Structure 1
């Protein structure tokens, strides 16, 4: 009977983690032979864990800047830059051939097991320890450091340098050229022209297809003709703007994420269990993300927004505003 209760408890815990918007709760970075975990360093919450671990380790075992930071293979350009910048408070630089001679902090491994995570960091030479393992726990306010263990002997291998990858190109249709290497087929040039002509006359999207965008003020590319190409006189340019708060129906669910990590839903305080109750692809949601005067948002913000997207919320509007007073519908006694 005890085994049955333990199994049910584990099942309930795993289910609650998913419904609370956790993107991945079984991760091995780098991958281990034969495992079925996620291995992508860009996957939430891996960047946050690497950032927190670097912040802790570089404060506990500091070296004079500048110094280098080596992240796990597969880390994308944007993640690499953000983790190094935030995790070292601007004192470190991403690993590259030009900085290999600098003292280096190596993020050797990230492991996530439900609400517990560990990050191994190999330290620069000449310090009191050679490596440090940081343990973190997931809370309703995000991941928090629980403890750390310093290693005086080299039990954690020093990973090979993984250089900062090139910046990812914009995925604008005009920026992508159709080449043999893109599609892996040896199509003659004449056949390719015929292929392009046939494809351009087809409507590859269903009539009811819609595009969901986040209101961040960033440029959103649309499938418009290149400015250098002639436009037919009868061609009408149609741009679908990103949804704004005024477009939401009266029954839209309103959220406020405060910089301290607290969340309000329709004016009432909400824990993670209540935050996503009843939310699905048919919901209309307005999320107001408050930031401090320094521009800092709650660490849990991206996980909450990702949870809405995972639930397929098509009508999602995100507004970022300065921090204001906490207004709730809690009755005063």
Structure 2
């Protein structure tokens, strides 16, 4: 009897300690916060979360923007394309992968010409992952030259992909997106060197 009680107490103690460790798991982020673990931007689930977040934010906010006039007279005006910007530290291959993962036909990487022309741009600000919960902050174009922030919260079941749980628009102005596209930066550097 004493041995069973001792094992039961040991099991309860280990279970409580494990639960405490799991409950206190910090967020891993990209780009990094000052005190968080850094996520690798090209490794699952970061590209998938960025692609899903851009696609969802674009779908929910493009109706707030004016339609793009047709290039040829007589054709219909179209919604603005999904021009996306990602944080610095992401390579060209991962930029392309995120664009594909948006599953939006008009999706393309931001260029300096887009910034200078004042075109609407959707920008990933940060990705945070903790266990089965992930959050993505996206700056999206609002009226005029105003950009605002949205947070998308994703939940995942074990061995399943993350699914959108909450889309929260914040009435917080965000900075206008910048071009951190490595292929665009390389092109500009090559032009300046020539």
User: Scaled by the length of structure 1, what TM-score is found?
Assistant: 0.41
Partner of 2:18: 8
Alignment of 1:1-333 (within 5 A): 5-9=15-19, 26-35=27-36, 37-62=37-62, 63=65, 64-87=79-102, 89-100=104-115, 101-126=118-143, 130-139=148-157, 140-154=159-173, 157-158=174-175, 161-166=178-183
Q: Which has the higher contact order (CA 8 A, sep 6+)?
A: 2
Q: Residue 117 and residue 6 in structure 1: after superposition, are their counterparts in 2 closer, same or farther (change >3 A)?
A: farther
CA offset digits 1:219-238 (Å, max 9, x no partner):
xxxxxxxxxxxxxxxxxxxx
Task: Encode CA deviations 1:278-314: one digit per residue, 9 max, x unaligned.
Answer: xxxxxxxxxxxxxxxxxxxxxxxxxxxxxxxxxxxxx
Higher share in helix: 2
| Equivalent pair of 1:130/1:153 in contact (CA under 8 Å) | yes
- For structure 1, the 5+ residue unaligned runs are 15-24, 168-333
Partner residue, 2:4: none
The CA RMSD measured in Å over matched residues stands at: 3.1
**Deviation of 1:7 (Å):** 2.8
Show the counterpart of 1:221.
none
Secondary structure of the residue aligned to 1:102 is: coil
CA distance in 2 between counterparts of 1:124 and 1:88 reads 20
| Contact persistence 2:150–2:169 (CA under 8 A) | yes
> Which SS does the other structure have where 1:51 is aligned?
helix
Q: Which runs of 5+ in 2 are unaligned?
A: 1-8, 66-78, 185-194
**d(CA) in 2 for partners of 1:53, 1:89:** 12
Equivalent residue of 2:154, what SS? strand
Determine the structure 2 residue equivalent to 1:171: none
CA contact under 8 A between 2:88 and 2:181: conserved in structure 1?
no
Q: Equivalent residue of 2:122, what SS?
A: strand
What TM-score comes out, normalization by structure 2 length? 0.67
Could you say which structure has the larger radius of gyration?
A: 1
String of CA shifts for 1:167-226, please: whole Å, max 9, x gaps. Answer: 9xxxxxxxxxxxxxxxxxxxxxxxxxxxxxxxxxxxxxxxxxxxxxxxxxxxxxxxxxxx
Aligned residues, how many? Answer: 154
Instruction: State the Cα distance separating 1:3 from its structure 2 match.
Output: 8.3
> CA, structure 1 residues 98+129, in 2 after alignment: closer, same or farther (shift >3 Å)?
closer
Asked if structure 1 preserves the Cα contact closer than 8 Å seen for 2:149 and 2:171, the reply is yes
